[in-house]
Amino acid sequence: MNWLRVVSLASLFLLLIPVAVLLYYGLGPLRSPAGYSTGVLRSIGLSLVSSATAAVVDVALFTPLAYYLARGRDRLAETLVDVPVSIPHPIVGVALVILDSPRTPTGAFLNSIGIDFYNTVLGLVVALVIMSAPIYVKAMQPYFESKDSAPEDFAMGMGASRFRTMLSVVLPSSVPGIESASFIAMSRALSEFGSISIIAYYVLQYPFYGVSPASVTIYALFSGAVPGGLDAAVTASAVMILISLPIALAGHFTRRR
């Protein structure tokens, strides 16, 4: 008997128990119409839009960082990348509130040019970028490390800079890795709660005026802050799993491709 396989599958089963329980009860015995009401679906829509936007920002801003870490071997930078996800997540929300507060110089400047993080889509996306970017970088770094560096060395030998080499040689052949890492980052953004519950408990902008992100809505249902109760929270959780699971699987299958 392959005991390693048995132990590994048993540990995987333990990880999947909460998901299976939520799907069973949320779609079965505890199913509640309040869990898939218009308000819940709008909150899921807000989370999907903001998470996808955060993933796009991750690709645009943090792909160079992942490539730099893969080729530069900067241990300090590698450690600092993990800081946002290694601290309690509400701290990030508090930091964004202070950063954008009119009582601080940064907040006064941002407000003077019309930038507001508090209860806005922008603040929500910024929080999601901070929390998902480290995951994106950690997914892309080993991908870049696994690539043959000979074409890069040839390009730089012909006089191209490292940055130009990245743009013209590395990125065109890295689309599958970028797609996979962006799906992983989007999945991480969808699951965020701590930071966005402070900076964007609900959004006060069209077309999501008064809508909370999905994780905040589920917590509000569970706590009784909005009508629904446990049954609605369980049902909404099951719906969220059904929507977010394909995104996570897309990242996996894109990587395999």
Q: Where are the alpha helices (DSSP H) in the chain?
A: 3-27, 38-72, 75-81, 83-86, 89-99, 105-112, 121-146, 150-157, 162-165, 175-190, 196-199, 214-223, 229-256
Residues in CB range of 67: below 8 A, 6 or more apart:
140, 144, 166, 170
Residue 214: what pLDDT? 95
Walk me through the domains of the chain, giving residue ranges and CATH numbers.
30-256 (1.10.3720.10)
Q: Could you say which DSSP state residue 211 is in?
A: B
Judged against a pLDDT cut of 80, whether residue 256 lies above it is answered with no
Give the pLDDT band (50/70/90) at residue 255: low
Q: Is 203 helix (H, G, I), strand (E, B) or coil?
A: strand
Residue 251: what pLDDT? 74
Residue 217: what pLDDT? 95
Question: Which residues, in sequence order, are bridge partners of residue 211?
Answer: 203
Judged against a pLDDT cut of 80, whether residue 246 lies above it is answered with yes
Judged against a pLDDT cut of 80, whether residue 95 lies above it is answered with yes
Give the pLDDT band (50/70/90) at residue 229: confident
- Tell me what the pLDDT averaged over the chain comes to: 92
Low-confidence winner among 18-32, 73-87, 166-180, 242-256 (lowest mean pLDDT):
242-256
pLDDT in tens, 180-220: 999 999 999 999 999 999 999 999 988 899 999 999 999 99
Residue 135: what pLDDT? 95
Judged against a pLDDT cut of 80, whether residue 1 lies above it is answered with no
Residue 249: what pLDDT? 85
Residue 148: what pLDDT? 87
Judged against a pLDDT cut of 80, whether residue 253 lies above it is answered with no
pLDDT in tens, 114-167: 999 999 999 999 999 999 999 999 999 999 999 888 999 999 988 889 999 999
Percent of the chain residues topping a pLDDT of 70: 98
Report the alpha-carbon distance of residue 62 to residue 136 in Å, rounded: 8
